[in-house]
Chains A and B, each alone.
Chain A
Amino acid sequence: EAGVAQSPRYKIIEKRQSVAFWCNPISGHATLYWYQQILGQGPKLLIQFQNNGVVDDSQLPKDRFSAERLKGVDSTLKIQPAKLEDSAVYLCASSFRGFATDTQYFGPGTRLTVL
């Protein structure tokens, strides 16, 4: 069974530029999550999708971050414009139904460096 795929693996940009990350969840998983992991901290949820609808985006900085999952499968996360403090690893995860008991499966992440 293929795992969660993410691309690119690494990205270096200058502040005020824009960047996009892509995630393809495990086949059949209804729920998709985007997390931000700043160096030295645990992952923090940015947004949760159930199929193609947003369940929780309360911690997404909506003035600069956006995410979509148009067909309920793969998803993109965009930052525009980027700030220095956006340097982090962006993790995508998926789970079968989104229940609290479900295991979340994580992709390898995209390491973003903002200069």
Chain B
Amino acid sequence: GAGVSQSPSNKVTEKGKDVELRCDPISGHTALYWYRQSLGQGLEFLIYFQGNSAPDKSGLPSDRFSAERTGGSVSTLTIQRTQQEDSAVYLCASSFSGSGNSYEQYFGPGTRLTVT
């Protein structure tokens, strides 16, 4: 079946511009996660959505980062006024549920963001 999809696969933007990254989770998965993979910081958690609950934003590095999840499905990660240190691969993952039992997280292919 279809896995987690992300778009675009690559994004090059100029410093100071805003970008939007999209994630389509696996159908039926109620939990959705965003991670960032960068050379300096490795793989780090950004934000987590579970159903209609308030998202866990504890991993967002600054207030320039925000995310939303519409209708409990598609999610968009927005980075405002991009900086060069935002250059990284942004990974989305989804799972059946984030509460209680731990379910396998399925990862998307990532969006490679380059800020020039």
Are both chains from one complex? no
Q: Which residues of B contact A (CB under 8 A)?
A: none
Show the binding face of A for B, using Cβ within 8 Å.
none
